[in-house]
Chain A
Amino acid sequence: IAGITQAPTSQILAAGRRMTLRCTQDMRHNAMYWYRQDLGLGLRLIHYSNTAGTTGKGEVPDGYSVSRANTDDFPLTLASAVPSQTSVYFCASSDSPHGASGANVLTFGAGSRLTVL
């Protein structure tokens, strides 16, 4: 089934631990994104990548890092998790690059629920 696969679905993590959220897409989309979704707030962009080998910072990048070694994979790493990073994390992709004009429709993964204690 074409789309985006995220792993893990859910994780409880002790503060200070390192965590990598995985994201793989099979649509050959150029751009990929990581968002966080918190109750009462809109989706907030953490990092994005328009092509393999390039990444950019979004609205809330601090405490997170990403890499884009190939078209399909876009992992998000929390080097030292803190409780404020408790959230639901969504990976997304689009055919058009981030910042492009027009109807840049995002396809989202099912999300990874992360709890940092």
Chain B
Amino acid sequence: GQNIDQPTEMTATEGAIVQINCTYQTSGFNGLFWYQQHAGEAPTFLSYNVLDGLEEKGRFSSFLSRSKGYSYLLLKELQMKDSASYLCAFMDSNYQLIWGAGTKLIIKP
């Protein structure tokens, strides 16, 4: 079967670094996505990883290990506007997206 898991909620402090983990199980894998969703708004694309390693994009980085079925999103120099839910999704062998339930990130001053 297929499944994907990420923590329900995390809390971090403004200016700090936070790592949001995502684990998945699937027989076929064709890439992993991260989206950001502010409360009451649309999800917006953050990153895509298909090969192992770290992809850096400004304050945000995404890591993938295909052998471990594991990804993380790293957010540096946290700002209050980073308070949002972060959705992890992988693309299976049929190129269908399987979404996690999202991690709600709360930033405290």
Contacts and interface: CB of A to CB of B under 8 A. Distances in A.
Interface of chain A, helix or strand or loop or mixed? Answer: loop
Nearest to A58: B96
Interface of B: 4, 8, 30-31, 33, 35, 40-45, 48, 50, 87, 89, 91, 94-102
17 contacts: A4-B42, A42-B87, A42-B100, A42-B101, A43-B43, A44-B99, A45-B96, A45-B97, A90-B43, A98-B95, A100-B95, A104-B91, A105-B48, A107-B45, A108-B42, A109-B42, A111-B41
B95 A43 contact: no
B42 A99 contact: no
B50 to A, nearest CB: 8
Closest CB pairs A-B (n = 4) = A42-B99, A108-B42, A103-B48, A43-B99
Given A99-B94, A101-B30, A103-B31, A108 B44 contact: yes
B41 A110 contact: yes
A46 to B, nearest CB: 13
Interface residues of A, number: 22
A6 to B, nearest CB: 9
A40 interface: yes
A42 B30 contact: no
Contacts of A108: 42-44
Contacts of B91: 104
